[in-house]
Every structure is written in C-alpha cells, then in structure tokens.
Amino acid sequence: MDSPESDTLVDERPSDGGHDRFSHYVDKVQLTRSAVTGKAVIALCGKRWVPTREGERYPVCPACREIYAGLRS
C-alpha cells in the first residue's frame, strides 16, 4: 500500500496516554525536510513528532490507515 506521496514512520517516544507504538503515514516531502532540518512532521492522524527510526517493525496507526484508505477511494 505504498504511495509516492507518503511514507510510514514510527514515533518511539512514550506518549502521555502510554499507548502502543505505531507507524504513521507522513508526506515524503515532510520526511525529507525533517531529515535535513530536524523539525517535526505531522502524520495523517495529526500526530506530531521528530522521526528518528524506520517504522516497518511497528503496526500502522489505525487512524492513519483509515484516513489513507479514504484518500485512495
């Protein structure tokens, strides 16, 4: 389900709710900009963080998955 406009990243910082770690869908332009500047990215679900690792080993955020599916249909 890869798209040229999005990439999947993971937020590994503990959240205030203590929920599981998820991979999130993020615009590739934001990802590149973050890699260069160190600034935060915003996932489709609204999660904001500075990515530091690849997200392939984590489950995809249910909210990001739902939003992404809606964009594709």
Partner residues linked to 11 by β-bridges: none
Question: Which residues face 25 on adjacent strands?
Answer: 8
Q: Extract the tokens encoding 4.
A: 């040229």
- For residue 8, pLDDT over 90 is answered with no
Sign of CA dihedral 72, 41, 22, 53: positive
Q: What is the pLDDT of residue 17?
A: 37
Structure tokens given for 29: 């332009």
Q: Flag whether pLDDT at 6 surpasses 60.
A: no
Q: What is the mean pLDDT of residues 14-22?
A: 53
Q: What is the pLDDT of residues 28-64, one digit of tens each?
A: 999 999 999 999 999 999 999 898 877 788 899 999 9
